[in-house]
Chains A and B, each alone.
Chain A
Amino acid sequence: MPSFKLDDREIPFEKGDTIIKAAWRLGIEIPHYCWHPGLSVAANCRMCLVEIEPPPGGRAMMLDIMKWDADKNDWVPDRKPKLQPACQVQATDNMVVRSTSSKAAVEARAHVQEFLLVNHPVDCPICDQAGECKLQDYWMSEARTTKRMRDEPVHKPKGVVFGDTIVYDAERCITCTRCIRVCDEVIGDHMLDLRERGNKNEVVLAQGRKLEGDYTLMTEHVCPVGALTSSHFRFKARVWTLKETPTVCPGCATGCNLWIDVDTREGRAYRNRPRDNEAVNRFWACDDGMMTYLREHDGRVLKARLGRDGVREDVKRDAALDRAAEVLSKAPKGKVAVLLGAQFSTEDNFVAAALAKALGAGLYLTAKPAWRADKILRNADQNPNRAGALAAANGARVGSLADLLAAAAEGKVQAIVGLGADADVDANALAPLSRIADVVLALSHEGPLARYATVVLPAASWVEAEGSFVNAKGVAQGFKRALSPKGDAAPAWELLAGLGRAMNLDLSYTKLREVRAALLAQVPAAHPDHAPATSAATDAKASAGA
């Protein structure tokens, strides 16, 4: 593999890599604003300037300059190396690049940083980007000089509404054009452009347009400063109070890698951010996926309850488990159905399938109906783990909800136990379920099936329990627990295993580790550590783009 030298490190690169990209792959950051690994090269911010030494025998590119000589008290002619943007220059074998070791490059970066801040309002206290702002980071690492311009800065429009999701502040903008390139290259819709030049330069909407579509939040995600803010997160929290946890989007079968940012003091999720994984979602996520953090709080089932329709009663979780065990033990053999949930983790489904095996019950799948797909990321299947649920069945036949309804109508099913309240059929078609005397459901969220449940067990959401999803391409991806379960909720596999034990079945799982070990032994392809492409390599880089 060819390699070049960056300061004192040897950097291997692939053919066609630029200097900055090869360094980025190794986790070495050359300061930059406009470059983004997922976007084309604009080379307009001039922050990544580096000195490239001439090839052996070649002539160095030098500039004639005037330099202040304190001894002579006058300007004297001097020469300095001509710097080149690391984001645009392709790496070549045995190239010698000097970034931090070049005095000229270090000086140039400090001056670029000073220029970028000349007209900046420095309103960090009310700026949502404060704490994760590249202007702040690079001021600390590259400049550390006070502002020398004493004039009133140039004022530009503030609080401009770009659409339902994005608000723009031109004064904070450094016109790096990342947002414009996201529109052009990721979304494929030229909604944004620049107007004016120099210090009047600002990003504007295309005439008669507003920022719309399924990927508008990516413009905010790539913004290295606080110019673009998303209306859902705007003014809600400070980033330094949030804790990031790697998670997987529960929005569709693509399984985009995300960070979920939560405030552990309040037990509240505040936002999602895309997590780089070139194998799955590259650097992006769709707007619906970015908003899935709201599901942590909306429509949750937090208490166990008994009874159907008008005679519902909230009870303790253990009481509900006992009741469920009692009614299921009495149910006639062979007439019990177990529901797998395409919205639940592979581990949950694995234990549900084990329960079905112990009960000798048939398997059916609850899932959400199909939704709008596109060619970028969105999969037509709204369920993050259909593949994982089917894999967890380990070869057993899994019927659809329609099959279950047909069986219920024929009287072949007299009791149901399982995961999830989602239905991929019309809500009116669910009527046969009301004939079934006992429906035990472990639910994290309310759904169409919830009203037919006679025993509801509160399950933890994907934010509150560790687990894994298998996406449409068969990639198993693990996600971590970000918050403690709310209310009485517990991980669904724990509820089902507890139910099995209460019925004296052989379900000994008490720790996730044990479930994972059994999963690895029986269905290795669905185990998150066994998958061919995981996000582990990119986990270390928190958010190179943001």
Chain B
Amino acid sequence: MTATTKVLRKPRRTLAEQSYLLEVVKGLGVTLKHFFKGTGQLVSGNKPSPVTDPYADGCATLEYPDEKRPYAQRWRGVHRLTHRDDGSPRCVACLCCSTACPAQCIYIKPAEYPEGDKRRGYERYPEEFVIDELRCIFCGFCVEACPCDAIRMDTGVHMTAFDLRSDFVYDKDQLMSHVGQDGTQKSANTRHEPGDPTHPGITRLHGGH
């Protein structure tokens, strides 16, 4: 076996390159070009969007937290509890989410609607609904498990840092105050409320409960 050799020539430098100083100035020129372009974009406000136009020339800096990259629609953020038309939670406290939760971070205390409520006898509701966001692994199983579309993770808000551990434990009021990325607190899915023509009513013989 004969060894084959390939002779590489050492690249020759021109005198101008060899003189070093000129090349430094050239390099600086490139830097300055980007500097002026970027500064100009920042001052004039026509900076290309890092989201829609991420490969455009010019300033690529995101001024976080003044500027934020919007999350994808199906990105799983902090939970929210959706509302019914009357502002009460859609949740019926079936405990499917807390059953599905692999981190066991959801605590629900179910209760019966009080005497006189039109939903008494049909449904239950969460007297307490607590999510420990520190334990949550944001897997979205709770959203998948929910048969009532009552819990969603479409707020587009990621968990921020708090000083206290207890601040990460969200109660029902807090979860119900969150707004979805579409700006509403409801869900698009309709539901038949007691009293609606489409909902079964206690019409015959028995009332009482």
Given contacts A126-B123, A235-B110, contact A241 B95 (CB under 8 A): yes
Question: Chain B residues with Cβ under 8 A from A236's Cβ?
Answer: 110
Question: Chain B residues with Cβ under 8 A from A158's Cβ?
Answer: 121-122, 200, 202
CB atoms of B94 and A125 under 8 A apart: yes
Let me know if B209 is at the binding interface, CB within 8 A. Answer: yes
CB atoms of B202 and A159 under 8 A apart: yes
Let me know if B92 is at the binding interface, CB within 8 A. Answer: yes
Distance A152 CA – B198 CA, assembled complex (angstroms): 9
Question: Chain B residues with Cβ under 8 A from A125's Cβ?
Answer: 92, 94, 96, 147-148
Chain A proximity mask over B145-177: 1 for CB below 8 Å, otherwise 0: 001100000000000000000000000000000
Question: Chain B residues with Cβ under 8 A from A157's Cβ?
Answer: 202-206
Distance A240 CA – B99 CA, assembled complex (angstroms): 9
Question: Chain A residues with Cβ under 8 A from B148's Cβ?
Answer: 125
Let me know if B120 is at the binding interface, CB within 8 A. Answer: yes
Which secondary structure dominates chain A's binding surface? Answer: loop
CB distance from B205 to the nearest CB of A (A): 6
Distance A156 CA – B204 CA, assembled complex (angstroms): 8
CB atoms of A159 and B94 under 8 A apart: no
CB atoms of B209 and A235 under 8 A apart: no
Chain B proximity mask over A125-157: 1 for CB below 8 Å, otherwise 0: 110000000000000000000000000100111
Interface residues of B in 184-209 (CB under 8 A from A): 198, 200-206, 208-209
CB atoms of B209 and A160 under 8 A apart: yes
CB distance from B148 to the nearest CB of A (A): 7
Q: How many residues of A contact B (CB 8 A)?
A: 23
Let me know if B131 is at the binding interface, CB within 8 A. Answer: no
Distance A235 CA – B99 CA, assembled complex (angstroms): 15
**Nearest CB in chain A to that of B108: its residue:** A238
Question: Chain A residues with Cβ under 8 A from B205's Cβ?
Answer: 157, 204
CB distance from B198 to the nearest CB of A (A): 8
Let me know if B133 is at the binding interface, CB within 8 A. Answer: no
Question: Chain A residues with Cβ under 8 A from B93's Cβ?
Answer: 126, 235
Given contacts A125-B96, A235-B111, A240-B99, contact A160 B124 (CB under 8 A): no
**Nearest CB in chain A to that of B120: its residue:** A159
Question: Chain A residues with Cβ under 8 A from B120's Cβ?
Answer: 159
CB distance from A234 to the nearest CB of B (A): 7
Question: Chain A residues with Cβ under 8 A from B112's Cβ?
Answer: 234-235
Given contacts A126-B123, A126-B124, A160-B209, contact A155 B200 (CB under 8 A): yes
Let me know if A533 is at the binding interface, CB within 8 A. Answer: no
Contact residue among B94, B122, B147, B208 (Cβ-Cβ distance under 8 Å from A161): B208
Distance A238 CA – B203 CA, assembled complex (angstroms): 29
Given contacts A125-B96, A234-B112, A235-B111, contact A159 B200 (CB under 8 A): no
**Nearest CB in chain B to that of A171: its residue:** B200
CB distance from B137 to the nearest CB of A (A): 18
CB distance from B98 to the nearest CB of A (A): 8
Given contacts A158-B200, A159-B120, A160-B209, contact A238 B99 (CB under 8 A): yes
CB atoms of A126 and B208 under 8 A apart: no
CB distance from A22 to the nearest CB of B (A): 38
CB distance from B155 to the nearest CB of A (A): 23
Distance A18 CA – B110 CA, assembled complex (angstroms): 43
9 pairs of A and B residues whose beta carbons are closest in the complex: A159-B121, A125-B94, A155-B200, A159-B209, A160-B206, A235-B124, A125-B147, A157-B206, A238-B95
A-B contact pairs, 23 of them (CB 8 A): A121-B200, A125-B92, A125-B94, A125-B96, A126-B122, A152-B198, A155-B201, A157-B203, A157-B204, A158-B121, A158-B200, A158-B202, A159-B202, A159-B209, A160-B208, A160-B209, A167-B121, A167-B209, A204-B205, A234-B112, A235-B110, A238-B99, A240-B99
Other than A126-B92, A235-B110, A237-B95, give 15 A-B pairs with Cβ distance below 8 A: A125-B94, A125-B147, A156-B200, A156-B204, A157-B203, A158-B121, A159-B122, A159-B202, A167-B121, A204-B205, A235-B112, A236-B110, A238-B94, A238-B95, A240-B99
